Every structure is written in C-alpha cells, then in structure tokens.
Amino acid sequence: MSTVYDFTVKDREGKEVSLADYAGKVLLIVNTATGCGFTPHYKPLEKMYSELKDQGFEILDFPCNQFANQAPGDADEIHEFCTLKYGTDFPQFGKLDVNGDSADPLFAYLATEKPFEGFGKGIKNAALNKFANMNNKAYGGKAYIKWNFTKFLVDREGKVIARFEPTVDMDKVEEAVRAAL
C-alpha cells in the first residue's frame, strides 16, 4: 500500500522534494488560494503550526488556481502575500493543479484515500456545493478536490487519516491534529 512518502513534489523554486523527508511527522496537506473567502484559514493554520511544530507537526501548503482563479500570481507573489498578511512560516510548495488530467499525483492519491463526502449542511454549504460543481464540471470524473483549503491529515506513518473540507471549523481540524500527535 502506498503512503504520502512515495510522492515527490516541487518546492516554490521548482526543485524536487521527496515527501519521505517528512517521515515520522504528522502532516496537514492543504491546497490554498490567496483570493478566496477561505484565505483567512491561513491565520489559524499558522497559529496551529507555531504551537505544534516542535511536536513533529508540519503543514504543507500547495497553492492552486483551479477554483475561480483565486490563486493568481507566481510562487514568489503568493509567498510574499502569505508571509506579509498572515505571517506564515510553514513550507509552501509550487503552484499545482489538484483536478483533471493535469492533477498532481499527490492530490489524486489523497482524494482517492479520503474522497469528498460533502460540505455539510446549511445554506452557505449548499451554495458552495453548487458553485463548486459548476467549477468542477470542466474536470469531469477527475474533480478530486471540490474547493480551496481542503485539508488532508496524515499520520506519522504516512497514511491519510482524515479529510477536512474548507467548511469544517478550524477548531475541529486542530482537535484532530492534536489527537494525531
């Protein structure tokens, strides 16, 4: 059986990084965007990272522009925005696709391990679901990730143990991270 450690990704400068470099750590892998309604998630993510990184926790940030073009700019512009506005200190990788024929293999794997189960109940969640479905029609059966700030929790053995849609309260995400540590 595969683990996230079997994958290689590109950092902000385009250099290959093996996720095996993170073996033994609890990971939260997130597809992000700088111009999304969920962009303020950077603040609780950075808080969680600063509090828990010494316990073997890493957040891996992957910018993606596939959702209503909400991650414009190059890697340096995105990084500058995140560090200046939210003080992010966790690793940020190169911009990638999470859906369709060009989807990065890591995200195809993550979504296969923990498929989408819905945004939850309520008017806002229903509206997001409708908008996401319209956006993802372009990817047909290869729309793995429904929106920005989908988070995958990975245990110390490299196994995907949870998926959190952007509509999940960040306190619940942190609770799951702490339990995994």
- Specify the pTM: 0.93
Residues 6 or more apart whose Cβ sits within 8 Å of residue 41 = 30, 32, 149, 166, 170
Do residues 8 and 19 touch, judged by C-beta distance below 8 A? Answer: yes
**Least confident among 4-18, 38-52, 85-99, 132-146:** 132-146
C-alpha to C-alpha distance for 37 and 149, rounded to whole angstroms: 10
Q: Is 64 part of the annotated catalytic residue set?
A: no
* Domain extent for 8: 4-180
pLDDT band of 1, cuts 50, 70, 90: low
Catalytic residue among 36, 45, 98, 176: 36
pLDDT for residue 150 is more than 70: yes
CB half-sphere exposure, 97, CA atoms < 13 A = 11
Q: Cβ contacts of residue 5 below 8 Å, gap of 6+?
A: 18, 19, 20, 22, 23, 158
- Do residues 134 and 93 touch, judged by C-beta distance below 8 A? no
Tell me the per-residue pLDDT of 84-96, one tens digit each, with 9 for 90 and over: 888 899 999 999 9
Residue 12 contacts residue 94 (beta carbons within 8 Å): yes
Q: Looking up tokens 């996720």, which residue turns up? A: 19
> Per mean pLDDT, which range of 42-51, 72-81, 93-102, 150-159 is the poorest?
72-81
Q: For residue 181, how many C-alpha atoms fall within 13 Å in the half-sphere facing its CB? A: 18
Write the single-letter amino acid at 104. D
For the chain, the C-alpha Rg in angstroms (whole number) is 15
Give percent of the chain above pLDDT 70: 99
CA 115 to centroid of chain Cα atoms:
14
- Which residues on adjacent β-strands are paired with residue 164? 151
What CATH number should be reported for the domain holding residue 126? 3.40.30.10
Domain count, the chain: 1
Instruction: Compute CA 163 distance to the chain's CA centroid, rounded to the nearest angstrom.
Output: 10
